[in-house]
């Protein structure tokens, strides 16, 4: 009879250990899921971009007139061309050869997922990999909107 009690105790202990392990696993998965959801909206989200949830709805306050385009082209030349290249093809002298496809601003099919507001926050906040320097503190909001206006003209039709 004594051996039967040992077996029951061992089984009970095994069940408790397995139950505890399952609980730890569920808690860990929950934290990982919540962390990923926060990254999507608070920074380091899809593609490493830091975008507010309403970025796609944000409208460019500038019109694409000659003065805005000229100012945007000037900002692009000074701040963006070294990586994105003079025509926005991702072929600048400091471009990451492994990320040229991501750096090509002329691809028309990207227009739907990169409306003006999204591009604004990508320029403002940058990302780590592939590297794009954040322009927050370097450029004013007006200058970022100017470069957004100019960049949108580079897309192939």
Amino acid 77: pLDDT? 98
At residue 36, does pLDDT exceed 90?
no
The class of domain 55-152 in CATH terms is mainly alpha
**Inter-residue contact 151 to 103 (CB < 8 Å):** no
User: Of 48 and 148, which is predicted with more confidence?
Assistant: 148
Up-side HSE of residue 131: CA atoms within 13 Å toward CB? Answer: 7
User: Dihedral of CA 140/144/49/52: which sign?
Assistant: positive
């Amino acid at each position: 009879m004594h051996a039967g009690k040992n077996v029951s105790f061992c089984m009970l202990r095994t069940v408790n250990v397995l139950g505890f392990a399952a609980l730890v696993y569920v808690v860990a998965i929950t934290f990982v899921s919540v962390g990923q959801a926060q990254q999507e909206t608070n920074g380091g989200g899809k593609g490493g971009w830091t975008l507010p949830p309403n970025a796609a709805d944000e409208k460019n306050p500038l019109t694409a007139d000659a003065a805005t385009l000229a100012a945007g082209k000037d900002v692009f030349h000074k701040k963006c061309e070294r990586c994105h290249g003079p025509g926005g093809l991702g072929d600048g002298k400091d471009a990451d050869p492994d990320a040229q496809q991501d750096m090509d601003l002329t691809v028309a099919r990207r227009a739907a997922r990169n409306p003006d507001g999204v591009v604004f926050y990508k320029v403002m906040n940058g990302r780590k990999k592939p590297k794009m320097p954040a322009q927050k503190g370097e450029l004013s909001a007006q200058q970022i909107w100017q470069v957004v206006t100019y960049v949108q003209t580079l897309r192939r039709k």
